[in-house]
């Protein structure tokens, strides 16, 4: 028994066995100490705010949509993208009052009005604005209007229209028409002139 030769194959097998024991022992020790266990992401990490993800923005979609609520969209998204994320429009939606091509801003409220509400607002606007004072499609929505739509309003030029867009970008969607008074260049007289021609 003493003179059995130890071959290279036996030596390699023995070395492999020692290596397996060392690796398994190391993993077991690391698991017990918790050093090798990566942190599990929490729900807060998964839903990080837009500041942590500069390529995303959050919008509030309300009105005549199937699933109103808050939605995350990519930067550069349009109103149409927000409406699609909310499940699309309901049969009562007045889509002709919404500019689906308008870009959305972070914190903006996208309002899809119902047909009856738009007709009532348009009727009030026709009496207050006079002939040719406002757009034929009804009042302009301050929270979704483009620069061109705002520029077409009486007494609002491209400079003031840009100030309205900048205000909206900083403060979010307009809560009321009276909030326009906070925009530089729009005073009480101009605000009175715009009533009936714009809606929040």
**What is the spatial distance between Cα 129 and Cα 143, in angstroms, rounded to a whole number?**
20
The residue ranking higher by pLDDT, 42 or 191, is 191
Q: What is the pLDDT of residue 78?
A: 92
Q: What is the pLDDT of residue 3?
A: 53
Q: What is the mean pLDDT of the chain?
A: 73
Is the distance from CB of 112 to CB of 143 less than 8 angstroms?
A: no
The residue ranking higher by pLDDT, 155 or 149, is 149
Q: Residue 45 pLDDT > 50, yes or no?
A: no
pLDDT (average), residues 168-172: 85
Neighbours of 128 (CB within 10 A): 15
pLDDT (average), residues 3-31: 64
The number of CA neighbours under 13 Å toward the Cβ of 64 is 17
The residue ranking higher by pLDDT, 70 or 41, is 70
- DSSP assignment of 62-106: EESBSS-EEEEEETT-BHHHHHHHTT-B-TTB-GGGS-TTSBP-T
For 183, counting Cβ atoms within 10 Å of its Cβ (0-12 exposed, 13-18 middle, 19+ buried), the class is: buried
Domains detected in the chain: 56-199 (1.10.150.320)
Q: Residue 148 pLDDT > 80, yes or no?
A: yes
Residue range 72-92, pLDDT digits in tens: 999 989 999 999 999 999 998
């Amino acid at each position: 028994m003493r003179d059995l030769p130890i071959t290279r194959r036996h030596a390699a097998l023995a070395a492999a066995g020692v290596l397996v024991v060392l690796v398994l022992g190391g993993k077991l020790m690391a698991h017990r100490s918790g050093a090798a266990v990566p942190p599990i992401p929490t729900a807060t990490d998964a839903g990080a705010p837009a500041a942590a993800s500069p390529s995303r923005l959050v919008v509030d979609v309300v009105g005549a949509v199937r699933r109103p609520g808050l939605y995350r969209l990519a930067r550069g998204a349009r109103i149409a993208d927000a409406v699609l994320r909310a499940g699309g429009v309901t049969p009562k939606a007045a889509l002709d009052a919404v500019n689906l091509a308008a870009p959305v801003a972070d914190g903006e409220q996208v309002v899809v009005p119902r047909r009856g509400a738009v007709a009532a607002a348009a009727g009030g606007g026709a009496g207050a604005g006079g002939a040719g004072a406002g757009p034929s499609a009804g009042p302009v929505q301050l929270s979704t209007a483009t620069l061109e739509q705002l520029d077409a309003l009486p007494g609002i030029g491209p400079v003031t229209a840009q100030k309205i867009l900048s205000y909206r970008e900083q403060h979010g969607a307009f809560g009321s028409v009276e909030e326009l008074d906070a925009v530089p260049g729009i005073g009480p007289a101009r605000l009175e002139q715009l009533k009936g021609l714009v809606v929040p």
